[in-house]
Amino acid sequence: MHLQLRYGHFAQYLTIAEELNELARSRGWAEATFWAPTVGKNNLFVAETEYPDLATFQRETEEFFSDAEVMKLIRSTAEHVIEGSAYDELLESAPHLA
């Protein structure tokens, strides 16, 4: 997940992201690693989560967005994120073409 944060809001958003990781850990879900670019777009925040397979990603995503405690934290991030800047990516290994 990539998103751009409002100036002066990085620390607050990171705190919420760490709380989400604590919930993920307590529920047995994959935890995210947080990144910020060394150069590039200002106040960009990236959360990277690895899953063993697509089925696990789908199951945990459904559980994540169905969890009231998680959604309360997600909603609390709105004041920190620049609207319209968030997007997700799902990457897989590049195929070896013949």
Instruction: Write out the DSSP string of 15-77.
Output: HHHHHHHHHHHHHTPPPEEEE--SSSSTTEEEEEE--SSHHHHHHHHHHHHT-HHHHHHHHHT
> Is residue 58 domain-resident?
yes
Give me the residue label for tokens 């944060």: 5
> Is residue 38 domain-resident?
yes
> Is residue 94 domain-resident?
no
> Is residue 91 domain-resident?
no
- What domain range includes position 33? 3-76
Q: What is the pLDDT of residues 19-58, one digit of tens each?
A: 999 999 999 999 999 999 999 999 999 999 999 999 999 9
The pLDDT score that the predictor gives to residue 97 is 87
> Is residue 96 domain-resident?
no
Q: What is the pLDDT of residues 58-97, one digit of tens each?
A: 999 999 999 999 999 999 999 999 999 999 999 888 998 8
Domain count, the chain: 1
